[in-house]
Amino acid sequence: MNFQLKRLEKGSIYVFREVRMKFRNMAILWLPGKNSTMCLYLCRKAFFGKIPFPAIYIGKGFEFQETYEFRCRLAQEWKIDFSIFPAQSNNEKFSRILGGIEERYGVDALIIAMKRDESLKWFEKDFSGGSDYILKSGDIFCVFPLVFWTEIDIWQYIEEENIPVNPLYFTKDGKRYRDIGYPDLPVQIRSNAKTISEIIEELKIRHDVNEIDRARDEEKDIIFQRLRDLGYL
Amino acid sequence: MKPNVILLTVDSLRGDHLGFMGYRKDITPNMDKLARDSSIFRQAFSTGPVTPHSFPSILTSTYPFDYQGVGGIERPRVLISEVFKKHGFITAAFHSNPYLSAYFGYNKGWDYFEDITPPFDIPEGKIENKRFSLVIKNFLEDLLKRIAFNTFPELYFKTRYFNYRRKGPTGEFKVKANYVNQIVKDFISFAKQEGKPFFVWVHYMDLHIPYISVDKYLQNGNLSYPEMVCSFYCSASLPHYFEKKALIEFGKKYVRDAIQLYDGLVMYVDQQIGDLMEFLQKGNLYDTSLLCLTADHGDEFFEHNGLSHTSKLYNELLHVPLVIKFPKSKIKKVLDQKISLISLAPTICDIVEIPKASFKGNNLFEDGDAPIFHQTASGIRATNLLVQDLGQCKIACQHGKWKYIIDYGIQREELYNLDGDLKEQYDLSRFEKETIYQMRKIVQEFLKQNSPFSLLKK
């Protein structure tokens, strides 16, 4: 695993543990997309194979057969007992859903697998205060362990760690889904990607960015910066 | 089934600031309780005064300058985790010291190796410009120090304090012990269910400078001026030790504050160790596990013109606590012979009855009064990890009542009689020629046996 991914993984795991110390009643939100699945995976890693709080799935009334089967597979393989929270409609405002979850489960913090760009896109107006990865919406704190990950980071990590993903991400008749999680409606794009490697290659071409190269020389710099902070060097 | 092994190490914990080691303040009730259940080595010493010169001995039972130094832990050094893993233990390490990171090779042999770092400690976007900005920053800092700091230390710190009050804190330094404990407890709960014994190493960083709690520094923002001086004196003055009397006199004014802050942190770590002990007791693991408590080095409070720890070989930096609680046994000994932490790993292996690999040390309970040795870099900077020639080394030897230090870089020898001069204040090297000769021979013999250059092709 390259250093950039290791650093991101460590950061996310730190967030999981930190919020567990800070909040009494918390839950993790699972949506059928790759971000949420990776978030569950990291959560299990942080707590040595367990998820020490409820995992909540937002039921939208309709779901793809692939998604249903994928959720059953995760529940079985990772021993997760999903609690299903019924959403009123596909367009229901997320802050209302948060309020509903708070009321129903009595949680004061909810872990949500969103990247920084997504959280700003969907919830900017609803949030007040907080830190880089903990924001308050109404009476509930939202925690974003993946806030510093990019889409390519996430796919690379999933490939590296062999994390299962929803089969809707892979091509069928020249098209595949790119975003599967709520609140976005699933978005289809033209693609021939049959594997995660091919998805990563597509993303690299699209963004013209090589995320692996960016991280190559960072490890030494960061270690030495930490030593400086401790008074060495 | 073999017993579980829990190795607790506390960064910068002096041997003489604990109740069971005779400290006048009652600040360590939990560690004292552990000591009452254990065997205690009252004269335990680390191999070096800084983490990179101490941990190779604790975890690999080799001297820091073996095999040309500790640029990275690699063969022929074998980590104790590799030995335990080979014998069926689940192995786990939880620490947050960058000198113990995977970058320096400490990650071998662990099923779970966690160099705990707060997330995103280098913000996105800064990294690409970091090399250049670091060079400029270092240059300017150095210039400021050289011109202003030596002459007007008070002014330097007042300015720094003013900036802190104006701009707020600039970083998060240490991971707190309660956070580390939470991970350890989760790990132990997991390992218990696996039906295999575990070896877990836990390293606490709370006592390391800066002597302030992360909470106080980051959240309240009300760091006092003495706290600022005590916390940053070492790093600010590092290039100037022994050079300027004014600087030393200035620092000495704050020594009481420093000790008070340090003791407060010792109390905090003690509470956390107590919390972990309680967890073990509740899980019926306390009595059946092997528990070790020690430190990588101490800290100085101007005993030798400095604060915190640098590359000096005096005993305030080398004397550490060592407590070993046997599993399922009432063995409690208080041992007064001088011992080196190089023998800790083989002792743990012996107690658990697994082979010791290629460890250099012996069983601590069988060690006689053999000389013990310490190594660090010549000069006072701790960063010299690789040894190209002996001129980069400083070596000390304790044998009987004598303590001998030789700095090969500046060709300086020191000799202390620890019977009457425990604080190493009176250098007798000019008067005790015969003793110097004998001690020099012992060190030369040690260097023959433990040459830093043994792997070099002739």
pLDDT digits (tens, 9 = 90+) for B160-171: 777 777 766 555
Is residue B429 assigned to a domain? no
pLDDT, position A230:
63
Contact B327, B289 (CB under 8 A): yes
Beta strand extents in A92-158 (DSSP E only) = 109-111, 134-137, 140-143
Q: Is A185 exposed, middle or buried (0-12, 13-18, 19+ CB in 10 A)?
A: exposed
Q: Best mutation site among B95, B179, B186, B300 for testing chain A: the one with the most A CBs within 10 Å?
A: B186
Residue A67 in any domain: the answer is yes
Instruction: Answer whether A20 touches B (CB < 8 Å).
Output: yes
- Which residue, A75, A82, A78, A25, is CA-closest to A47? A78
Number of domains composing chain B: 1
Tell whether A172 is covered by a domain: no
Residue B455 vs residues B56, B69, B231: alpha-carbon distances, Å: 17, 11, 40
Q: Which residues contact B456 (CB under 8 A, 6 or more apart)?
A: B68
* Smallest Cα distance from B90 to chain A, Å: 12
| A69 part of a folded domain | yes
B300, two tokens: 């100085």
Residue B152 CB coordination number (10 Å)? 14
One DSSP character per residue, B63-90 reads -TTGGGB-SS--TT---HHHHHHHTT-E
Contact map slice: A 173-202 vs B, CB within 8 A: none
Is residue A158 one of the residues assigned to a domain?
no
DSSP string, B323-349: EEEPTT-----EE-S-EEGGGHHHHHH
Tell me if B234 and A132 make a contact (CB, 8 A cut-off). no
Contact B235/A at CB under 8 A: yes
* CATH code: domain of residue B27: 3.40.720.10
In-domain check, residue A65? yes
Residue B126, pLDDT score:
41
Q: Which stretches in chain A have pLDDT values below 70?
A: 61-62, 88-92, 116-132, 181-186, 206-233
- Considering the domain boundaries, does residue B75 fall inside one? yes
Residue A70 touches chain B, beta carbons under 8 Å = no
- Is the distance from CB of B206 to CB of B174 less than 8 angstroms? yes
At A68, which CATH number? Answer: 3.40.50.620
Alpha helices in B209-292 (DSSP H): 214-215, 225-237, 245-252, 255-282
Q: Which domain holds residue A26?
A: 3-148
**In the numeric block, which tokens belong to residue A42?**
């990291």
**Contacts B382 to A, Cβ<8 Å:** 232
| A–B CB contacts, 8 A cutoff, strictly below | 86
The pLDDT tens digits along chain B (458 residues) read 899 999 999 999 999 999 999 999 999 999 999 999 999 999 999 999 999 999 999 999 999 998 888 778 888 899 999 999 999 999 999 999 989 998 899 999 999 999 987 765 444 444 444 566 667 777 776 676 666 666 777 877 887 777 777 766 555 568 889 999 999 999 999 999 898 999 999 999 999 888 876 555 555 556 788 887 887 777 666 655 445 677 788 888 888 988 988 998 999 999 999 999 999 999 999 999 999 999 999 999 989 988 888 889 999 999 999 999 999 877 889 999 999 999 999 999 999 999 987 899 999 998 678 999 999 988 766 566 777 788 889 999 999 999 999 999 889 999 999 999 999 999 999 999 999 999 999 999 999 998 887 665 44
- Which of B179, B210, B383 is opposite residue A21, by nearest beta carbon? B179
Q: Any chain B CB within 8 A of the CB of A230?
A: yes
Distances, alpha carbon B449 to alpha carbons B66, B313, B416, in Å: 10, 21, 24
Whether the CB of B121 is below 8 Å from some CB of chain A: the reply is: yes
Within an 8 Å CB–CB cutoff, is residue A229 touching chain B? yes
A230 and B173 within 8 Å at the Cβ level: the answer is yes
CB atoms within 10 A of CB B116: 18
Q: Does B349 fall in a domain? A: yes
The 10s digit of each residue's pLDDT in B377-419 is 887 665 667 777 888 899 999 999 999 999 998 899 999 999 9
Q: What is the mean pLDDT of chain A?
A: 80
Report whether B171 contacts B121 (CB < 8 A).
yes
pLDDT of residue A216: 42
pTM of the entire structure? 0.85
Q: How many CB atoms lie within 10 A of CB B39?
A: 18
Identify the residue whose tokens are 């710099």.
A221
Single out the residue of B5, B28, B42 nearest to residue B262, CA to CA.
B28
Does B210 map to a domain?
A: yes
Is residue A219 one of the residues assigned to a domain?
A: no
ipTM: 0.73
Contacts of A48 in chain B (CB under 8 A): 112, 186-187, 189-191
Task: Assess B117–A contact: CB distance below 8 Å, yes or no.
Answer: yes
Q: Is residue A81 part of a domain?
A: yes
Q: Is A225 on the interface with B (CB under 8 A)?
A: yes
Distance set, CA B299 to CA B8, B235, B304 (Å): 18, 14, 11
The tally of domains found in chain A comes to 1
Q: Which residue of B has its CA nearest to A15?
A: B119
Domain extent, residue B320, equals 5-119+172-368
One-letter amino acid at B97 equals: N
Q: What is the pLDDT of residue B458?
A: 43
B112 interaction partners in chain A (CB closer than 8 Å): 48
* Bridge partners of residue B140, in order along the sequence: none
CA–CA–CA angle B96, A23, A45 (5° rounding): 50
Note whether residue B314 is domain-resident.
Answer: yes
Is residue A25 domain-resident?
yes
Mutation target vs B (from A51, A117, A229; most B CBs, 10 A cutoff) = A229
Are the CB atoms for B271 and B199 separated by under 8 Å? no
Q: Which residues of B touch A14 (CB under 8 A)?
A: 116-119
Dihedral angle sign, alpha carbons of residues B168, B171, B177, B181: positive
Give B 388-447 residues with CB within 8 A of chain A: none
Give just the sign of the alpha carbon dihedral B376, B377, B378, B379: negative
